[in-house]
A and B are shown apart, each in its own frame.
Chain A
Amino acid sequence: MGTADGGAKKAVVSAEEMEKSKGVREAYTSFGEPVKVFYGPEDLEGFDYEREVADPGTYPFTRGIYRSMFRSQLWTMRPYAGMGTSEETNERFKFLLQSGQTGLSLAFDLPTQLGMDSDDPLARYDVGKLGVAVDTIEDMERIFDGLQLDRISTSFTINSTAAVILAMYVLVAQKRGIAVDRLRGTVQNDILKEYVARGTWIFPPRPSMRLISDTIEYCLNRIPRFNPISVSATHLCEYGATAEQSVSLPFLNALAYIDDVLKRGYAIDQVAPLVVFHMAVGGRRFHLFEDVAKLRAGRRLWAKLMKERYGAQNPESLRLKFSTGALGGGMTAAEPLNNIARGAYFALAAVLAGTRSLNMACFDEAYAIPADLAIRTALRVQQILAYETGVTDTVDPLAGSYYVESLTNQMEVQMRKTMENMERRGGIIKAIEDGSLQRELARQSFEHQEKISRGEKVLVGVNRFTSPEEEKPLEIYRANPKVRQMQIERLKAVKASRDSQKVAEALSRLRRAAEGNENIFPALFTAVEARVSVGEMISALKQVWGEFQEPQTV
C-alpha cells in the first residue's frame, strides 16, 4: 500500500471489500443477490411490524395463521403409506392409527394415477408398486374396512383421477351410513403441476381444469370439511424451481383454479378457504433460512392477494394453509445415513416456518420407496424435534431477525415479480401448453446440477468429503409381484358379477356429462355404484376430452 495517499484510500475501502481481501467467502441468495456478512437495523429501515408482520393469527399472517400454533397443537406427522394390495394398506392404516397417528396418507400405484386398470397391458409392471391399486369401489371398501371414516382425516395423493377416487370414497362412506358432510381429508387434485413435473396427466389442461372445478364445486356444496385441492410445490421444487418459484408457481396454479370456479358464480369466500397447499422444504437447493423466509413471505403474499385482488373478507380465505413435504431429491445415494441429518434440518425449516403437517422423505429415498426402518426413523426425527429441542416453545421464533425479515421481504418481491411476469406471458396454463415453463425449469435443474458437478454446490459425501469404501447395501422395500395377478382376478370377478346394462348406461351418462357443462359428480357416482372401473371411466372421458400431447419440454 502506498504511503502518501494510503490513509485516504483506506477511508474509501468499504468493509465488504476489506473482507473480500481477507478471504471472506462470497454468498448469494437463490435469486442472485449478494448475502451480507451480517445484517443490522439498516436492513429493515421503515420496517412496520403491524403492517408487514403482525402477531401470529393476525393479518397478514406472516408469523403464522393461528395465534398459538405449536403451543396448542403440534404439526401432524404424516407418513406416506399405500402398498400392494388393499388389504395390506388397510392393515397398515390400522397399525398407524393404533400407534397414535391422526392423519392417514394414501399413495396409489401409477396405473390408478393414470386411469388404467390393473389388467391394462401398459400397466403390466406397475400394478401395486408405488402405492395401492384401485380398480373399482370394492378396492376402496377393502382399504377403509373397519376404519371410522368420520373420525379420520385422509390425504389422497391423486391428481388426474382425483374426482373418481373421491366419488368412490364418498360412496364407501355413504354405504356405511356415515353422513357425507362429516368426511375430512384432502385430494391433491393439482393437475397443472403434473404437466410440469411428475407427469401423471391424462387429459389436456382445459378439460382437466373443468374436472377440478367440478370437484371443488362438489366439495363446497356437499363435503365442506374436505379439501378438494392441495396445490403442490414439492414436485416443482424437485424439477428445478427456486425457493421463490416454489411458492409463486403454486400460487399461480391456485389462482388459475380459483378463477375457474369463480366463473361459475361462487364467491371468493366460498372457494378460497377450501384451497390448501403442500409446500416444500429441503431438496437439493435447501437453504434453511430461505426456506423459512419463503414460507413466511408466502403467508403474507397470499393474504394480501386474497384481500387486495379478490376482495376476500373471511379470515379463512386469507390464511395460507399448508402442509409441507421435506424433499427426497435432497437425499443422496452416497452414504445414505447422512440423509437422516439432512431430513432433520429440512424438518427444522418446516417447523420454524410454522407448517401444520409434515411428511418426510426417508434416508433410503435414492434407492426405493421407504422401508420400515426408514419410515420409522423419519417419524423419530420429527418427534425428537417436537419433544427434545424446544423449537415448539414459541411461535415464529425467527421473527424480528434482521436477516430473516429482510430475506422475507426480498422473497415477497421476487414472488410478485414471477407472478406478474407469468401473467404478462399469458398465464400459467398457456406456459404449460406451449412447454415454455417446463423448459425453463429443465434449464434451471440442469444449471443446478452443473454446479454440483463443478463442486460449486457442495453435497457432503457426493462431491466433497467422500469415502472411498463400498457401501453396504441397504435393506430396501420390494413390491409384491403377486399383486397384479390378484387385482386382475378381482377385476374379472367384479366384471362378471355386475349388471352390464347398468354399466353401459352409466358410461354413456358419463360421456354425456363430459360433453355438456353439468357437474360430473352425479354421473361419476352412478358409474362407481355400478362398479364401473377407474380405467373404464377414464377411457370414456378420454373419448370426449382427448389426451394431452406433450410439447417439447427440453
Chain B
Amino acid sequence: MPKPRPIRVLIAKPGLDGHDVGAKVVVQRLRNAGMEVLYSGLRQSTEKIISAAVQEDVDVIGLSILSGSHLELTQELMAQMREKEITDVLVLVGGIIPREDIPLLQAQGVDGIFPVHSPLEEIEKFIREQVPRKRGEMLPEKGPEK
C-alpha cells in the first residue's frame, strides 16, 4: 500500500483584485499543516488557474476574491471545470462574501465558502475531511509518491 501523498492545494487570485493578504495567510497555514500549497500570484484568469491546477495535479483550488466579483468569477471557473470534466477537485472560495451570496455560490457547485475572518482551523479541517470524499478515496493513486 503506497503512502498517501500530501494534499496539494492551489490558492489563486482570479480577476483584478490585489488584496492577497488573506490568501497568503491561508497558504502559510496549510503549508504548516503539511500540505503542498501553491500560490498563483495576482490577476490570474480562470483558464490559467484551471490549467495550473491540472498541471500540478492539485486536490483543492481555493479562490480568494475581495473585489465583489466572486459570483461572476466563480461561475466562470465552475463552468470551465465542468467543460473539462474535472470533478475530483475541491473548490473553495474565500474573501468578502456577503452572507446572502453563500447559497448562490453553493448552487454554482462550490464546496466550501470561507468569508473573511473564517477561522483557519476550519479551512484546514474542511480540506482534510472533504478531499478524500471528493476523490472517492483515490488519493494515493492520483499522484506519485513523495
**Interface residue ranges, A against B (CB under 8 Å):** 110-111, 114, 116, 122-126, 129-130, 194, 197-200, 238-240, 332-334, 366-369, 442-443, 445-446, 449-450, 453, 459, 462-463, 471, 473-474, 476, 479, 550, 553-554
Contacts and interface: CB of A to CB of B under 8 A. Distances in A.
A238 B27 CA distance: 17
A550 B41 contact: yes
Given A122-B16, A368-B98, A446-B29, A130 B21 contact: no
B78 to A, nearest CB: 15
A239 B21 CA distance: 6
Contacts of B67: 110, 125-126, 129-130
Main secondary structure of the interface of A (DSSP, over half): loop
Nearest to A548: B42
Contacts of A449: 25, 29, 120
B82 interface: no
A122 B15 CA distance: 7
12 contacts: A110-B16, A111-B16, A122-B16, A124-B72, A199-B17, A333-B115, A366-B116, A442-B28, A453-B121, A550-B41, A553-B24, A553-B41
Interface of B: 15-21, 24-25, 27-29, 39, 41-43, 45, 67-69, 72-73, 96, 98-100, 115-117, 119-121
Contacts of B73: 125
B104 to A, nearest CB: 13
Q: Which 9 A-B pairs have the closest CB atoms?
A: A199-B18, A125-B69, A446-B28, A110-B16, A554-B24, A442-B24, A125-B72, A550-B41, A473-B99
Contacts of B119: 453, 463
Contact of A554 (B18, B28, B98): B28
A4 B37 CA distance: 62
Contacts of A116: 16
Contacts of A366: 96, 115-117
A8 to B, nearest CB: 48
A437 B95 CA distance: 23
Given A333-B115, A462-B117, A479 B42 contact: no
A41 B4 CA distance: 63
Contact of B42 (A199, A369, A442, A445): A199
A122 B39 CA distance: 20
Contact of A197 (B21, B39, B68): B21
A150 B99 CA distance: 44
Given A129-B69, A200-B18, A368-B68, A122 B45 contact: yes
Given A334-B117, A450-B120, A554-B24, A367 B69 contact: no
Given A198-B19, A240-B21, A130 B100 contact: no
A473 B98 contact: yes
Contact of B96 (A111, A124, A368): A368
A246 to B, nearest CB: 14
A300 B69 CA distance: 43
Contacts of A332: 117
A200 B42 CA distance: 9
Contacts of B24: 442, 445-446, 553-554
B120 A123 contact: no
> Residue among A111, A334, A550, A554 with the most chain B CB within 10 A?
A554
Contacts of A200: 18
A199 B28 contact: no
A373 to B, nearest CB: 15
A124 B73 CA distance: 10
Nearest to B65: A125
B16 A445 contact: no
Given A333-B117, A453-B120, A476 B16 contact: no
B117 A125 contact: no
Nearest to B19: A198
Contact of B98 (A126, A476, A479): A476
A194 B18 contact: yes
A333 B116 contact: yes
A126 B18 contact: no
B100 A473 contact: yes
A124 B46 CA distance: 13
> Residue among A200, A368, A442, A471 with the most chain B CB within 10 A?
A442
Contact of A130 (B27, B29, B68, B98): B68
Nearest to A554: B24
Contacts of B72: 124-125
Contacts of A462: 117
Contacts of A124: 72
Nearest to B76: A125
Contacts of B117: 332-334, 366, 459, 462
Contacts of B116: 333, 366
Contacts of B39: 553-554
B68 to A, nearest CB: 5
Contacts of A367: 96, 98-99
Contacts of A114: 16, 43
A125 B29 CA distance: 30
B54 to A, nearest CB: 22
A200 B18 CA distance: 6
> Residue among A125, A130, A239 with the most chain B CB within 10 A?
A125
Contacts of B121: 453
